[in-house]
Amino acid sequence: MKIGNIDLGQRPVFLAPMEDVTDIAFRLMCKRFGADMVYTEFISSDALIRHVNKTKEKLIVSDEERPVAIQIYGREVESMVEAARICEEANPDILDINFGCPVKKVAGKGAGSGMLRNVPLMLDITREVVKAVHIPVTVKTRLGWDMDSRIIVDLAEQLQDCGISALTIHGRTRSQMYTGEADWNLIGKVKENPRMHIPIIGNGDVTSARICKERFDTYGVDGVMIGRGSIGRPWIFREVKHFLETGEELPSESFEWYMGILKAQVLQSVERLDERRGILHIRRHLAATSLFKGLADFKSTRVAMLRAETVEDLFNIMNEIPDKYLK
């Protein structure tokens, strides 16, 4: 599979762009475990052209994470074009347009998946952004605004005609948010459309190596994107790549090995921010990780872990887990 001139190999697996998750440290961690391409957190075009420092920091990418895409969102042609040019100066490999974010503060203002209610504007933005930059432009979107307007099959053709180099489809409507099951059947129909010639990347509910392979085999997508399944579990990419290459599940590592990865994430977060903010940032990963699922009577320890305010206190709690729950 290629996006522009970027060769991503056969059956590539991507780390999805996620706000407050896919900072540079997490991207590098997922790249280390085999993610074929990673995406930044989504970036507001309006904030970027106003030179908001916190937003500009999201533009920082490193050679170690390549190929890497910067993702932007907005609701006006002019600001999106200006933001796209600023992003290109940060030297990403790909520029991705977010037409899929369902959260109210984005979609409710007409950006993200809110664009699914204004397709002419979506296409204008896409067309002009493609013209404005010299790197490949891709789009990430959803099936439609709601169950009565699942327009993705026709929309995919229209976006392709705007000049994008690949399309990622999350298998839910905006109204579904993240509830229910992702519908990959419509993603498959886009891929089956004989008019489509750009790569189609599927996204939604990929939480294991076996599910990832099934999505490739059943729906014929060119790539699979993993989002929430990677939170607190960056090693999922290692498991997926092994299964795709061998057809066998990767043997589990020791509990301590996985714990070491989570601790490394904590330390990276603290180093990037500071102790207080770093611990607050990493709590989402600690709450979501599959490592602690199935441990009997773990609730009190989970609460204590998520309330810890220093690295020392947090690691003391984590260090007690093996003796307390695994013996």
Please compute the mean of the pLDDT values over residues 207-213 and round it to a whole number: 97
Question: Which percentage of the chain shows pLDDT scores above 90?
Answer: 94
- For residue range 149-159, what is the model confidence (pLDDT) as tens digits? 999 999 999 99
State the catalytic residues.
Answer: 101
Structure tokens at 254: 């020791």
Question: Which percentage of the chain shows pLDDT scores above 70?
Answer: 100
Please compute the mean of the pLDDT values over residues 182-211 and round it to a whole number: 97
Residue-wise DSSP of 249-300? PPPP--HHHHHHHHHHHHHHHHHHS-HHHHHHHHHHHHHH-GGGTT-TT-HH
- For residue range 238-288, what is the model confidence (pLDDT) as tens digits? 999 999 999 999 999 999 999 999 999 999 999 989 999 999 999 999 999
Single-letter residue type at 42: F
pLDDT surpasses 80 at 27 = yes
Task: Kindly indicate the confidence band of residue 325, based on its pLDDT and cuts at 50, 70 and 90.
Answer: confident
pLDDT of amino acid 294: 86
pLDDT of amino acid 168: 98
pLDDT of amino acid 34: 97
pLDDT of amino acid 44: 95
pLDDT of amino acid 247: 94
* Cα–Cα distance for residue pair 85/49, rounded to 1 Å: 10
Q: Residue holding tokens 């609701």?
A: 75
Single-letter residue type at 237: F
Structure tokens at 211: 């599910």
Q: Which CATH superfamily is domain 2-246 in?
A: Aldolase class I (3.20.20.70)
- For residue range 212-249, what is the model confidence (pLDDT) as tens digits? 999 999 999 999 999 999 999 999 999 999 999 999 99
Dihedral of alpha carbons 21, 22, 23, 29, sign: positive
Structure tokens at 205: 């509910």
pLDDT of amino acid 95: 98
> In the 8-state DSSP scheme, what is residue 40?
E
Q: Where are the beta strands (DSSP E) in the chain?
A: 2-3, 6-7, 13-15, 37-44, 68-73, 94-99, 137-142, 166-170, 200-203, 223-226
- For residue range 84-128, what is the model confidence (pLDDT) as tens digits? 999 999 999 999 999 999 998 899 889 999 999 999 999 999 999
Residue 9 contacts residue 34 (beta carbons within 8 Å) = no
pLDDT surpasses 90 at 39 = yes
Please compute the mean of the pLDDT values over residues 172-176 and round it to a whole number: 94
Structure tokens at 292: 């602690």
